[in-house]
Each structure stands twice: as structure tokens, then as C-alpha cells.
């Protein structure tokens, strides 16, 4: 597990970015018992506060998307999630399904020269922003601490984008925002699709036809570095290295990943 305090300190030393709340949370986070080795309990340092907050934010987003009348929910500084009714043809048959969508913040895309399709939220959909209140998120932190934790995580996100490095932003039980170079792909978890569509057969067709990209595919998305930053875990993850398509030595997994990246998903 990443030493978040050391990571934050290093960032602050080499940039103008300051992350005081993340540092405080990482210091206050209690160790957790990872596993038992013989008669010895092995402990590893962690930062449960940060993950707890982001999981609560993700849960809030998911709850809004799964309402009887789904709402568009905005994470300020990241983007907006919503659901729309979609239609597509398969073997002459029209398929109607509920499609989760994500619109990356225009300011973020513009500042970091990311490819962002202009997908406005339909006017008839009710729009809300994530609430950071204790009563809405169910976390043992003040609204101020939660808001600052989210903002500082996003500040780190911008820092990585400024360095032109690749990353995956994980929203538990919602999906993963994957950024490779200037390519932006929002993937969604199959469980969310199942709750939206009430049919495993429909979900299978949606994923097979790539009408929505599954978050399970993210492990195949190649990076020119062969690694990506993963937030809010603040870890590095190894991924296939991006290579030129004509290269006959390219593995089938990497080729599949590149094919998926060609379909940038719902952005």
C-alpha cells in the first residue's frame, strides 16, 4: 500500500500543489490487519479515510443513477454522470436499453487538451451535485473535511494530467475513468448495467456490441509508459505497453486493448 503521506510530501516539494487534508487523513488513518502469517499478525499502513470518503461519493452517484427517475449527478471538478434511454439495431431488431453516460468537465478537458465529446445532459433530466453532508454520505467526517479530501484528490488528478501521464480514476460500483494520452474512456461496471436494465441478456448484448465499455476491460487498455496512476488508491498499476499497430510482435491482449481504446465510450 502506498505511503500517502510521503507521496503527498514529495508532490508538495516539487510543485505548487498543496494537499494538507490528504496528508492529515493519511496520518490519522489507522493500520489495518492484512493477513496472519503463522502466529504473527502482519499489519500494513493504509489510508482508509480517503478510500472511505471516495466510496461514499461513488455510492451517492450510483444512488442517483438508479433512482426510478435517474438524476444527472455532478462531481464538481471532474464531470457529470447521467442515464439516457438508448436505441440500437442488432440483426434487424431494435434494442432499447438504459445507458449510463459521463461528460468530462469542459474546463478539465480544455486545460489538459483531452479529447472530450460534447454530450450535454438532456434538459428534462433533474441535475444535482454530490452532497458532502454527513447525513447524505454516511461517513464519520465533517462536510468540510470530505469536501477538501475530494478537492485535493482532484488536485492530484490534475497534477498527473499536467505531467501528461496516464491514469485510472476508480468510482467503486460505478465505473472507471481511464485516460491514456489525450484519450478519455469512461467504463461502467456490469452490476450497474444490470440494475439499470433488469436483464442479463440485454447487458451481455450491450457489452458485446461495445455500446458501453465494461470496467473489466480497463486492465487491457495500453499505456505508452506500461503503467498508470490509480486513484483514489494513489497507487501505480502495470498495464500493457502501447506499441505500433503494424508490429507483429504485439500481443493479442494489447491489440484488443487498442481496439477498445478506439471506442472512447461515453464521454
pLDDT over 60 (residue 28): no
Q: Is residue 262 part of a domain?
A: no
How many domains is the chain built from? 1
User: Residue 107 belongs to what H/E stretch?
Assistant: helix 106-111
Q: Is residue 132 part of a domain?
A: yes
pLDDT over 80 (residue 50): yes
- 79-90: strand order across its sheet: 93-104, 79-90, 72-75, 127-129
How many whole angstroms separate alpha carbon 79 and alpha carbon 256?
A: 27
Domain that holds residue 152: 40-231
Phi/psi for 185 (5° steps) reads: -130, 125
Kindly state the percentage of the chain with pLDDT values over 90. Answer: 64
What band does 46 get if pLDDT is binned at 50, 70 and 90? very low
Q: Is residue 187 part of a domain?
A: yes
Q: Is residue 260 part of a domain?
A: no
Quick one: average pLDDT of 141-148? Answer: 94
The whole-number pLDDT of residue 154 equals: 96
Least confident of 27-31, 35-39, 224-228: 35-39
Q: Is residue 259 part of a domain?
A: no
Q: Is residue 4 part of a domain?
A: no
Q: Is residue 31 part of a domain?
A: no
Q: Is residue 3 part of a domain?
A: no
Amino acid at each position: 500500500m502506498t505511503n500517502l503521506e510521503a507521496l503527498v510530501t514529495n508532490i508538495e516539494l516539487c510543485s505548487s500543489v498543496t494537499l494538507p487534508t490528504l496528508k492529515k487523513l493519511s496520518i490519522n488513518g489507522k493500520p489495518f490487519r492484512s493477513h496472519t502469517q503463522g502466529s504473527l499478525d502482519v499489519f500494513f499502513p493504509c489510508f482508509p479515510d480517503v478510500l472511505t470518503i471516495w466510496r461514499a461519493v461513488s455510492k451517492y452517484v450510483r444512488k442517483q443513477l438508479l433512482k426510478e427517475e435517474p438524476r444527472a449527478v455532478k462531481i464538481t471538478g471532474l464531470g457529470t454522470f447521467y442515464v439516457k434511454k438508448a436505441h440500437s439495431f442488432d440483426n434487424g431488431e431494435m434494442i432499447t436499453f438504459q445507458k449510463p453516460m459521463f461528460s468530462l468537465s469542459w474546463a478539465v478537458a480544455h486545460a489538459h487538451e483531452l479529447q472530450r465529446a460534447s454530450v450535454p445532459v438532456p434538459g428534462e433530466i433533474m441535475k444535482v451535485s454530490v452532497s458532502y453532508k454527513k447525513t447524505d454520505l454516511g461517513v464519520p467526517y465533517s462536510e468540510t473535511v470530505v469536501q477538501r479530501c475530494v478537492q485535493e484528490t482532484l488536485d492530484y488528478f490534475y497534477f498527473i494530467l499536467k505531467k501528461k501521464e496516464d491514469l485510472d480514476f476508480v468510482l467503486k460500483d460505478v465505473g472507471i475513468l481511464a485516460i491514456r494520452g489525450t484519450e478519455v474512456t469512461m467504463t461502467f461496471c456490469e452490476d450497474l448495467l444490470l440494475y439499470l436494465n433488469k436483464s442479463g441478456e440485454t447487458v451481455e448484448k450491450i457489452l458485446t456490441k461495445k455500446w458501453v465499455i465494461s470496467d473489466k476491460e480497463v486492465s487491457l487498455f495500453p499505456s505508452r509508459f506500461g503503467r498508470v496512476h490509480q486513484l483514489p488508491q494513489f497507487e501505480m498499476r502495470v498495464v500493457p505497453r502501447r506499441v505500433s499497430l503494424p508490429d507483429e510482435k504485439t500481443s493479442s491482449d494489447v491489440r484488443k486493448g487498442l481496439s477498445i481504446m478506439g471506442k472512447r465510450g461515453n464521454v
